[in-house]
Chains A and B, each alone.
Chain A
Amino acid sequence: MIPACPLASLPRGEALRLDVDPPIAVFHTDDGDLFAIDDTCTHQDASLADGWLEGCEVECPLHASRFDLRTGMVDAPPAKRPVRTHQVVVEDDVIYVVPSDAPPNLPPGVTVKGQA
């Protein structure tokens, strides 16, 4: 489990980028739900934490593909592949992310450090 931040420091409607490798974005939706996905868009090197959060979806800040935070599924091009999702746990008012062990769907040209 990766500690993200105290629950109180991530207000609703906001996102936080965790500098792990590859980076993870944690979202607090307007309805009060918490979600974590890989921060890097599956199309190109954009940070989804910089995107636009609406309901349970985040819109990529570059080319506006939308990802469902619950499933990682993408709605329309240019992105084609889903983004990897992670589990979120809140314990003692601290947000933790349980990183997925599925392989990430990083965009072409972006690699995890230490791997080809």
Chain B
Amino acid sequence: MNTVCVVGASLAGLLTARALRDQGYEGRLVVIGEERHRPYDRPPLSKDFLKGVIGEADLALEDDGEDPRIEWRLGVAATGLDAVSRRITLSDGTSLVVDGIVIATGAAARTLPRTEGLRGVHTLRTLDDAHALRAELESAGRLVVIGGGFIGAEVAATARELGLGVTLVESGPAPLAGVVGLTMAQAIAALHEQRGVRLIAGARVTEVTATERAGSLRADGVRLEDGTHLPADVVVVGIGAVPNTAWLRGSGVELGDGVLCDEGGGTSVPGIVAVGDCAAWWDPAQGRHHRIEHWTGARQRAAVAAATLLSGGTARPAPPRPAYIWSDQFDMKIQFIGRADEADTVTVEEGDPADGRFLAVYRQADRPVAVLGVNQVRLFTRWRRQLETMPVQAG
């Protein structure tokens, strides 16, 4: 292989580029990124960066003296791929013929229909999004967050800490229920309420209302299905993310919910791997393709994807480890590993949920399948280790 092109200049792209060098790849290495920024870390965008505690320089993912001999092409997007000739076309009208390709285009925030162009409505995925939201939070009084996933819950917490009045609207029974299960989601929800977030669960948003101001439409609230109107100066839409795979349509690379990959990140086309939020790797334990949208997912898989590419698919990947997720909300360090939906019981084994400091273990029969820690960092780490080293059971 003489030229490898990594498409997507963020966490998964950078780590895979580094891994290629670590594994002895000496050829040309081009990284294409749609954003004009060098790779930066996204988790703080809803936490310390949004709060103003850290700045842009703190987000950099590269080391100061680092030189993995990368040709950066930033501010240009890949717009198409011909898998047979291995030609990648770019948004600046040029194209590139390469030998190996790493698809690491991540995901984009899902938007709410009929809110395009409405001022005061935000999604949060990029540094530019975070700058725009932070600027508005500085002068706003009331925030409505639509969607109680991790990003929604984190933005709600940060805005509350900044002194805003915050309402979080969630269509399911409680924020985060999809990941941590209903019982523990309710415990975390209560901690949000204790800290001043108004929660409205089981509610559907029908529209974001707006008024005309200075010649353009600006959001002024959110209307729910039952007619309730929640006034707002700023609205944040946190309703999930969609993989950035539109540029691969018609390329011959098989797509589903993301780029469909085998257990090692290999796509349907030899010489092309995919990794990170855009990629749905085959999960033998679950018997299905599964897209992991968390930081450690990209980190654990980058070296595997690089090995698959360099070996032509003959490298045998280590079995995937259960997904580890962290989140910071208010003073709470929330850590989770495993799958709550496999459990038939969940028990609090340390601390008390009401104090915002507890550890809960999820079990299927007697086998632990997931663990949740809230401000139980030390104990959680021991449990995480245990779950990570347990033999994977076919489900």
Task: Give the docked Cα–Cα distance between A61 and B385 (Å).
Answer: 10
**CB pair A61 B380 closer than 8 Å:** yes
Min distance, Cβ B19 to any Cβ of chain A, angstroms? 10
> Which stretch in A2-10, A30-38, A44-52, A88-96 binds the other chain?
A44-52
A61 contacts B377, C-beta separation under 8 Å: yes
Known pairs A63-B326, A64-B299; A50 contacts B381 (CB<8 A): yes
Report the Cα distance A86→B55, complex, angstroms.
Answer: 30
Among B55, B61, B378, B380: residue with most chain A CB under 10 A: B378
In the complex, A12→B333 CA distance in Å? 28
Q: How large is the interface on A (under 10, 10 to 19, 20 to 34, 35 or more residues)?
A: 10 to 19
Given contacts A77-B61, A108-B54, A109-B54, contact A64 B296 (CB under 8 A): yes
How far is B333's CA from A78's CA once the two chains are assembled, in angstroms? Answer: 16
> Is A80 in the interface zone, CB < 8 Å from B?
yes
Question: Can you report 28 A-B residue pairs in the complex whose CB atoms are below 8 A from each other?
Answer: A44-B48, A47-B377, A47-B378, A50-B377, A50-B378, A50-B381, A52-B381, A52-B382, A52-B385, A61-B377, A61-B380, A61-B381, A62-B333, A62-B335, A64-B296, A64-B324, A76-B15, A78-B41, A78-B61, A80-B61, A80-B62, A80-B63, A80-B64, A108-B48, A108-B53, A108-B58, A109-B53, A109-B54
Q: Mark B270-308, 1 if CB is under 8 A from A, else 0.
A: 000000000000000000000000011001000000000
Q: How far is the CB of A116 from chain B (nearest CB, A)?
A: 15
Smallest CB separation, B222 vs chain A (Å): 33
Chain B 34-68, CB within 8 Å of chain A: the 1/0 string?
A: 00000001010000100001110010111110000
Interface code A60-77, partner B: CB below 8 Å = 1, 0 otherwise? 011110000000000011
- Alpha-carbon distance between A61 and B295 when the two chains are bound, in angstroms: 15
- Chain A residue with Cβ nearest B63: A80
Query: What is the chain B residue whose CB lies nearest that of A65?
Result: B299
Bound together, the chains give a CA A77 to CA B44 distance in angstroms of 14
In the complex, the answer to whether A109 meets B61 with C-beta atoms within 8 Å is no
CB B1 to nearest CB in A, in angstroms, measures: 24
CA distance A80 to B382 in the complex (A): 24
Q: Residue of B at shortest CB range from A47? A: B377
Q: Give the chain B neighbours of A52 by CB distance below 8 A.
A: 381-382, 385
Taking the nearest CB of chain A, how far is it from the CB of B194, in angstroms?
22
B99 to chain A, nearest CB (A): 26
In the complex where A52-B385, A76-B15 touch, is A61 in contact with B58 (Cβ < 8 A)? no
A80 CB contacts on chain B under 8 angstroms = 60-64
Q: Which residues of B contact A46 (CB under 8 A)?
A: 377
Query: What B residues does A78 contact at CB under 8 A?
Result: 41, 43, 61, 295
Interface flags for B3-23 (1: CB within 8 Å of A; 0: not) read 000000001000100000000
- Looking at A50, A62, A77, A80, which has the most chain B CB atoms within 10 Å of its CB? A77
How close is A73's CB to chain B, nearest CB, in angstroms? 11
Q: How far, in whole Å, are A116 and B2 apart by their CA atoms in the complex?
A: 50
Measured CA separation A29–B378 after assembly (Å): 17
Residues of B within 8 Å of A62, CB to CB, are: 326, 333, 335, 377
Closest Cβ neighbor of B379 among chain A residues: A50
For the complex formed, measure the closest distance between the CB of A78 and the CB atoms of chain B, giving whole angstroms.
Answer: 6
Docked pose: A59 CA to B299 CA in angstroms: 14
A64 CA / B377 CA spacing, docked (Å): 12
Residues in B356-395 with C-beta less than 8 Å from chain A: 377-378, 380-382, 385
Per the bound structure, the CA–CA distance linking A48 and B385 in Å amounts to 15
Inter-chain CA distance A7–B48, complex, in Å, is 40
